[in-house]
Structure 1
């Protein structure tokens, strides 16, 4: 099989570079759509279920929880790791669930964009194919 000519290789690199750039633009548009859909939870936040016991009864509630203090306390100027959401199915609970969903999708898209940026760097720097040192 004949080796590709240098011109063909450069055209191939340019075409792949452009396809990756278009993909990154499409992913960034998806991120913009996520921002329009509503609030985004703090990075690393999740919705947690917890139980309260009172006079022989158990109640289940939900809270939005962050790894570091993020939420404004209602009674002081301090920040808290927790935001009470109430019972399952309340609007505040569902909004929090969706904000965590949007954050996780946003973060995954961002990871993909970073990976594609590395691909662009490989193509543009010529480091896709490197010579290996012979091992003894």
Structure 2
């Protein structure tokens, strides 16, 4: 089998580089679409269910919760770890659930973009093929 010529290798690298760039562009467009749909929940936020009791009755409510204060408060300029959403199915509840969903999709797309950026770096720096250290 004939050895690939240097020119063929460079053309192959260029073609792979361009395919990866197109994939990154498509993924970035998906992220833009997510941002246009509505807000993203803060990173690491989730919707939590909690119980309140009053007059021997139990009520279930929902809140958007984060591990650090990052949610605006209605009555203060300070940030909070919690945002009350009310009962299941309220517009606030559904908006929060969907914002958490959009955040998780956006984060996963970003991880893929970061991986593809590493691939571009490998191709452009020539580190795809490295010499192996001889073992004793």
Pick the TM interval, shorter chain: over 0.9
Residue matched to 1:121 = 121
Residue matched to 2:5 = 5
Give the gaps of 5 or more residues in structure 2.
none
- Equivalence map 1:36-75=2 (5 Å): 36-75=36-75
Post-superposition, which runs of at least 4 consecutive aligned residues in structure 1 deviate over 4 A?
A: none
Give the gaps of 5 or more residues in structure 1.
none
- State the distance in 1 between where 2:66 and 2:84 align: 12
TM-score scaled to structure 2, two decimals?
0.96
Provide the aligned C-alpha RMSD in A: 0.9
TM-score scaled to structure 1, two decimals?
0.96
Deviations along 1:81-100, whole A, 9 cap, x unmatched?
A: 00000000000000000101
Q: 2:95 matched to 1:92?
A: no
SS of residue matched to 1:42: coil
Alpha-carbon distance, 1:77 to partner: 3.1
User: Would you say how many aligned residue pairs link Structure 1 and Structure 2?
Assistant: 136
